[in-house]
Amino acid sequence: MVDVEGLAARLDEAARDLAAVPKLTDTAPLDVPTAYAVQRAGIERRRRAGERLAGVKMGFTSRAKMAQMGVDDVIWGLLTDAMVAESSVDVSRLIHPRVEPEIAYLIGREVRSPAEVESAVAGVAVGFEVLDSRYSDFKFTLPDVIADNASAARFGFGAWRPPRDVSNVGLLLEVDGRVAQAGSSAAILGDPARSLRAAARLALGAGIALEPGWVVLAGAATAAVPLPKDAHVRVTGAGLGSVEVTT
C-alpha cells in the first residue's frame, strides 16, 4: 500500500523548506492513478490551508517539453489562487524555478461537460508558467511529476482578449531583453484548443467542473528556461500582446 497522504506531505514540506527531495518512485511503487491521488491529496492540503482552486494546467502538450523532460504523455494539474503571480515572483521562495510561455484561457461559466468548454471561454491571453519541481535536479518519471502537481508553482497572464483562433500564435520568451525561446502555439497538440478540451475532460473525469474565473494553461510550446533572481521576463504572443514579470 502506498501512503498517499505521506507522499503528499513530503512534497509539501519540500516546497515549504525549499529542499528538493529524491523522486518518490525511488522508494514507492507509484503508478499513474496513485500519482494523481497524491496530487489530489496535495491540493486538499492547500485547500485546508486556505487556498482556492483557480484553474487547470496541462503539461507535456508539446514535443519540445516532452523532449526536455524525457516523458511522453500529457498530464494535468490544478492551479490555486496562491500561485497567481501579478508583476513579480519572489524566487527566494522557490527551489530551482524555470519559466515557460503559455497560452491561457479564461473560463466564463461553469463547464459541466467537455463539449461545453469552448463555448464557455470568455477570453484568451498570452501567459507564463513558473515551474518548480520539488525533486532533486528537476528529474522525475511520469508518475513523480504527476504526484508533484505537474511542477506547478506560479502563473500569470496578459490582458484577456476576446476568444479567437489561437492555433498558430508566434510565442517569444525573453529574459533580460534576450530571446530565450521562440515557438508557435501550433506546437501545443497542433492547436491549444485540443489541450483546452482535454483539460475539461480530465478535470470532469476527476469530478472537478471548471468554474467561472478559472484559468486553463494549455501547456508550453517551448522548453522552459531557468528563472534567476533579478530577472525581467517578457512573453509575447503575436496578436495577443505580452505579459511581463520580474523576480
Q: Which residues bind Mg ion (CB under 5 A)?
A: 129, 220
CA distance 183 to 65: 12
Question: Which residue, 78 or 150, has its beta carbon nearer to ligand OOG?
Answer: 150
Select the binding partner of residue 148 from ligand OOG, Mg ion, none (C-beta < 5 to 8 A, by kind). Answer: none
- Do the Cβ atoms of 161 and 121 come closer than 8 Å? no
Q: Tell which residue, 18, 154, 146, 26, has the closest CA to residue 77.
A: 146
Rounded least distance, CB 62 to ligand OOG, Å: 7
Question: Which residue, 145 or 220, has its beta carbon nearer to Mg ion?
Answer: 220
- Do the Cβ atoms of 96 and 133 come closer than 8 Å? yes
Rounded least distance, CB 29 to ligand OOG, Å: 22
- Contact residues for ligand OOG (CB under 6 A)? 57, 59-61, 65, 69, 100, 129, 131, 133, 145, 150-151, 219-220, 224
Question: Which residue, 70 or 212, has its beta carbon nearer to ligand OOG?
Answer: 70
Rounded least distance, CB 66 to ligand OOG, Å: 8
Q: Tell which residue, 121, 112, 136, 119, has the closest CA to residue 203.
A: 112
Select the binding partner of residue 151 from ligand OOG, Mg ion, none (C-beta < 5 to 8 A, by kind). Answer: ligand OOG
Question: Which residue, 2 or 186, has its beta carbon nearer to Mg ion?
Answer: 186
Select the binding partner of residue 69 from ligand OOG, Mg ion, none (C-beta < 5 to 8 A, by kind). Answer: ligand OOG
- Do the Cβ atoms of 137 and 98 come closer than 8 Å? no
Select the binding partner of residue 20 from Mg ion, ligand OOG, none (C-beta < 5 to 8 A, by kind). Answer: none
* Residue whose Cβ sits closest to Mg ion: 129
Rounded least distance, CB 178 to ligand OOG, Å: 21
Question: Which residue, 61 or 236, has its beta carbon nearer to ligand OOG?
Answer: 61
- Do the Cβ atoms of 222 and 183 come closer than 8 Å? yes
Helix (H, G, I), strand (E, B) or coil at 209: coil
88 bridge partner residues: 246
Residue-wise burial string across 173-202, b where 16 or more C-beta atoms lie within 10 A, e elsewhere: bbbeeeebbebbbbbbbebbbbbbbbbbeb
Question: Which residue, 77 or 116, has its beta carbon nearer to ligand OOG?
Answer: 77
- Do the Cβ atoms of 97 and 213 come closer than 8 Å? no
